[in-house]
Structure 1
Amino acid sequence: MKLLVINGPNINMLGIREPDIYGNETYEQLVEVCHETAERLGVETLDCFQSNHEGALVDAIQMSYGVYDGIVINPAAYTHTSIALLDAITAVGIPTIEVHVSAIEEREAFRQRSYIRDACITTVSGEGIQGYARALELLVDALTD
């Protein structure tokens, strides 16, 4: 099983950016959680990608076609604005789980709308970087059922 974790804008600033909302853990720690979880779950390949650019995220989704079995994505601010990411996920048809470090459903009204949610199996929100572990577990479960 080959999985891709995609992170959008400012996720690389974890630990620095608004720690009262996003916590003190860093992006490097997030990647470590993903790799440790993948190893525990017996995932053959886990790659992590981060970009602050919407087009690069669309490219990563499109390039995953025929390469990866599943995607975990935190589109970050693009969650609330990007129909392009929704279209890319829909186009490739790869099982995808949406994840957010903060509880977006408890934040500002504009952050509560997710454009990509309709193309995802489920959403994990508000569990900090450990939410990635849960998202990977849910994805592996979905792919092995």
Structure 2
Amino acid sequence: MARSVKSSKTIISPTKSTQTLRAARKKSLSVKTPIILAPEKKSITRRSRPQSHVLKEIKYYQETSNLLMSRLPFTRLVRQTLFNLKSKQQNIVTRFTKTAIHALQESFEAYVVSLFESAYSCTIHAKRVTLYPSDVRLARKLKTK
């Protein structure tokens, strides 16, 4: 048996070469190169002072003009108070318009804010920072006189 010598050059048909090129292109497009990101810097979390949040809240409420208490709980409080008064007296109005409730709430909040302002003045006078119920009682006594 004689061996036949094969040439080192192989002839590829033109249709086959274009098919392999297309396949190679598809493979190269489908494989995504990984995106190298810079290493993340760990941010240092700093604690804020505990009083800063309170001061921001005070500033916010001083700048706003809207009501501090929600309308519905205040309305319930008014109706409950009237119900307690009605059991003692007979001729009490039990129906209110929205504007009447709003006016009551405005005056109530103005009174409470001024009461707490004077109560805190009593606290400062006593060289304290914490508001005590005794300060509120003293402020109420001073307001009535």
Class of the TM-score when normalised by the shorter of the 2 chains: under 0.3
The structure with the largest alpha-carbon Rg is 2
- Of Structure 1 and Structure 2, the greater strand share is in 1
- Scaled by the length of structure 1, what TM-score is found? 0.24
- Scaled by the length of structure 2, what TM-score is found? 0.24
If asked which structure has higher relative contact order (CA below 8 Å, sep 6+), I would say 1
- Of Structure 1 and Structure 2, the greater helix share is in 2
